[in-house]
Structure 1
Amino acid sequence: MIFINVKFHVKPEYADTFLDDINWYTEACNAEPGCLEFKWFRDPEDSQRFLLVEAYKDGEDVTHVQSEHFERSCKEFPQYLLETPDIINFKIDGKTEWDKMAEFKVD
C-alpha cells in the first residue's frame, strides 16, 4: 500500500467552493482500480485548509500520477492555492487495508 497525505491551503475566495470545484478529480481518482482511499477533510479551525488522504495498491500510485486527470489537476489546482501543498507518503509492502485499533476495540 502507498499511503499519501497532502495538506492544501486554498485562497479565501475558494474556501467554500474548493471541494465542489475539484470534484471531477475526486471522482476520477476514486474510480481508479488501484485506489483504496481518496478522501478530503476540511480543517474545522481553518476553513481554508484541507487534508487529502490517499492510499493505492502497491505500484498503482504510478498509474495514478500518469493519468489524464492527474495531469489536469497539476495544471488547474495551483489557481486555488495560496502555497505549494505539503505532502508525505510512505509504502507499506503487502498491506491492502486498514488495521483495527486495538486500544479502542468495540465489541
Structure 2
Amino acid sequence: MILIVVKFPVRPEFADRWPELVSEFTTAVRAEPGNVMFEWSRSVDEPDSYVLVEGFADAEAGATHTSSAHFRKAIDEMPDWVAGTPSIMYVDSADLAGWGPMAEVQPRG
C-alpha cells in the first residue's frame, strides 16, 4: 500500500471553505479503483492548515490517481488557495493494508 500524508497551509480567506473547495476532488478520488482512504482533517494547532491522509492499494492505483483529470484540475486550482508549498510524507510498504486497530487504547466498560 502507498500511504501519503500531505499538510496544506491554506490562505486564511479560504480556510473555512477548504472542505467545500476540495469536495469535488475528494469525491472523485474516493471513487478511484485502488483508493483505500482519502481523509481531510483541520489542524488543531494551525487552523489555516489541513492534513490529508490518502492511501492507495499499489503503485498502479497511485499512477491512475496522479494521471486523472480530477487530479490535474485540483493541482491547477490549489495554488490559488494555498499560502505555501504543501509538505508531504510518502510511504510505500507491502506491510500496510489500511487502517488497523490500535492495541494501546481500547474503550473501557
Range class of TM-score, shorter chain: over 0.9
Shift of 1:22: 1.4
Q: TM-score, normalised by structure 1?
A: 0.92
Number of equivalenced pairs: 107
Distance 2:38 2:92 in 1: 16
Distance 1:66 1:94 in 2: 25
Shift of 1:47: 1.9
Q: Are 1:23 and 2:13 matched, yes or no?
A: no
Q: Are 1:8 and 2:27 matched, yes or no?
A: no
> Which residue identity does 2:11 align to in structure 1?
K
Shift of 1:34: 0.8
Distance 1:43 1:98 in 2: 20
Alignment partner, residue 76 of structure 1? 77
State the SS of the aligned residue for 1:102: coil
Percentage of matched positions with identical amino acids:
36
CA RMSD, aligned part only?
1.4
Question: Unaligned 5+ residue runs, structure 1?
Answer: none
Structure 1 residues 44 and 94: CA distance shift in structure 2, 3 A: closer
